[in-house]
Structure 1
Amino acid sequence: MNTQTAPSPQFYLTAPATCPYLPQEMERKVFTHMVGERAPELNDLLTQGGFRRSQNIAYRPACETCRACISVRIIAGEFSPTRSMRRILALNSDVVSAEYPAEPSSEQYSLFRRYLDHRHQKGGMSDMSVLDYAMMVEDTHVNTKIIEYRLKVEGDGIGKAKGPLIAAALTDKMADGLSMVYSYFDPDMSHRSLGTFMILDHIRKAKDRSLPHVYLGYWVKGSRKMDYKTKFLPQEHLMARGWERYTGESAATT
């Protein structure tokens, strides 16, 4: 009988670099590779421990002087949308979502490119090529889906939705929830609040599958563009003593 155990993951530390969210701070990350048969199990454990996935890499902040990045997960079973969120759901009642294997398409990349050019011109992903996008989607050893959001057109309901693609999310399914790895949307449809709509749709999907959590990645305290994550209550934040319930000191309730 073979009693040899699988090797433990090896962790590495990046060199210091300017923080993209708090420019006055320097960031470092600890990371490891997730490949092979154990990758789904490892992804579950690391995500629950505050890591995020990017392709086959799991990483988390390991900054020397800053603790602003806080892992956030929504408690899906207890979630109830606010009045403004219900308005967003109603506004997007003509949108259908469908899950597919983690395979890229030219239509996805075209929307992704428009999103980056409009919203993240100076970000670290701003120069991603079609090959880079394909790697972002395909390079996974865990249970990953690409969820497409399309406007309803006549004939939808049988087979693949045929309307224009207006948003997409790369999502990992884990034992205890859904992890939103990356999402993007049509920048010309800002009135639809598609970013919020996709989170609300993931909460619905988690409830339908009896999964307790939706993982949103990091909330960066002090970064205004991250404040939206604290609006989805109730939620938990990963603190020094573990996951703690966050009630929202200044979160909107209307």
Structure 2
Amino acid sequence: MGTDPKHDTEGLRLFDTGAHSCGYWPERTARDLVLDPHDPRLPQLYPLALSWGFRRSGDIVYRPHCGSCHACVAVRVPVADFVPDRSQRRCLRRNADVEMRVVPAQRTDEQLALYQRYLAARHRGGGMDDHGAAEFEQFLVGAWANGRFLEFRAHGQLLAVAVTDRADDALSAVYTFYDPDHARRGLGTLAVLQQIAWARREQLAHLYLGYWIDGHRKMDYKRRFQPLEAFTGREWRRMEPGDDA
């Protein structure tokens, strides 16, 4: 398919993981479609894969591929058209004392300690409780991704880290962890708002938010960032408020 390595998908292999426990609905099984993790072109193919509804976890680029369930819908924000709603504007005002900076995706002891506190408070019993430095590196940094850490601090204290990938014409929100003692600040919402602002400053077209799941307590918040586009499996189309994709 041409000689441009950014668009050369000739010989690209995809693998079906087979059935495994669903990370969102424990009573269900799931399957994923995974790009060949040994393909040396992954860094170049990744932006294209994002546009196909894939996302990254560590060095794995995957997309849900369940036979009877289609609850996971890839979504992205067209940043030029985004306008924060009233609740999001309140979140920005509430965090007026927070300073942000983009730093290399390199683990620090401070970040690791915050990550472990977050997992203990938010995902106890979820299989990530014992994550240490090696798991941090594997899950959040990876070997080939063009990632950055967006740090949030108030009065010098690290409050949150938004792990963010930089693609050709977009940012991708990989994972955000924050201080559970400051949950009332709405740091997850703040992270998305600041990632949108970052993408806009760099004149990027989209912020990819991973998967939206209608009615899921931990995933449905993504719908509040409007306008929002959903991947149908063939194309991206704008979701209207109340749309079930």
- The normalised TM-score by structure 2 is 0.90
Moved more, 190-199 or 234-243: 234-243
Equivalent of 1:12 in 15, 18, 38? 15
Equivalent of 1:32 in 31, 35, 39? 35
Greater gyration radius: 1
Q: Distance in 1 between matches of 2:227 and 2:215?
A: 20
Does residue 105 in structure 1 map to residue 108 in structure 2? yes
Moved more, 26-35 or 171-180: 26-35
- The Cα offsets for residues 189-231 of structure 1, whole Å up to 9 and x where unpaired, read as 0110000000000010111111111111001123122110000
Q: Structure 1 residues 20 and 34, CA, compared in 2 at 3 Å: closer, same or farther?
A: closer
Does residue 74 in structure 1 map to residue 67 in structure 2? no
Does residue 49 in structure 1 map to residue 52 in structure 2? yes
Q: Distance in 2 between matches of 1:137 and 1:33?
A: 19
Letter in 2 for 1:113: Q
Q: Distance in 2 between matches of 1:233 and 1:49?
A: 21
Task: State the 1:40 CA deviation.
Answer: 2.8
Equivalent of 1:205 in 198, 205, 208? 198
Letter in 1 for 2:143: T
RMSD between superposed Cα atoms in Å? 2.0
Partner of residue 26, structure 2:
23
Q: Distance in 1 between matches of 2:69 and 2:88?
A: 32
Moved more, 186-195 or 222-231: 222-231
Letter in 2 for 1:218: Y
Q: Secondary structure at the match of 1:240?
A: coil
- The normalised TM-score by structure 1 is 0.87
- The Cα offsets for residues 114-170 of structure 1, whole Å up to 9 and x where unpaired, read as 10000011223232122211222332313111111111x4xxxxxxxxx01100011
Q: Distance in 1 between matches of 2:166 and 2:73?
A: 21
Letter in 2 for 1:29: D
Contact 1:68/1:222, CA 8 A, preserved across alignment: no
Q: Distance in 2 between matches of 1:90 and 1:126?
A: 33
Q: Distance in 1 between matches of 2:37 and 2:51?
A: 15
Q: Secondary structure at the match of 1:121?
A: coil
- The Cα offsets for residues 14-38 of structure 1, whole Å up to 9 and x where unpaired, read as 1212212123321011112456763
Task: State the 1:54 CA deviation.
Answer: 1.3
Unaligned runs of 5+ in 2: none
Letter in 1 for 2:231: L
Equivalent of 1:139 in 130, 142, 152? 142
Q: Distance in 2 between matches of 1:237 and 1:140?
A: 29
Deviant stretches of 4+, over 6 Å = none
Task: State the 1:58 CA deviation.
Answer: 0.3
Q: Distance in 2 between matches of 1:59 and 1:89?
A: 33
1:74-223 to structure 2, matched below 5 A, reads 74-151=77-154, 153=155, 163-223=156-216
Equivalent of 1:229 in 222, 233, 238? 222
Letter in 2 for 1:85: Q
Q: Distance in 1 between matches of 2:88 and 2:140?
A: 29
Once the two structures are aligned, what percentage of the paired residues are identical?
Answer: 39
Q: Distance in 2 between matches of 1:60 and 1:53?
A: 9
Q: Distance in 1 between matches of 2:137 and 2:14?
A: 26
Task: State the 1:71 CA deviation.
Answer: 0.2
Q: Distance in 1 between matches of 2:193 and 2:216?
A: 22
Contact 1:33/1:56, CA 8 A, preserved across alignment: no
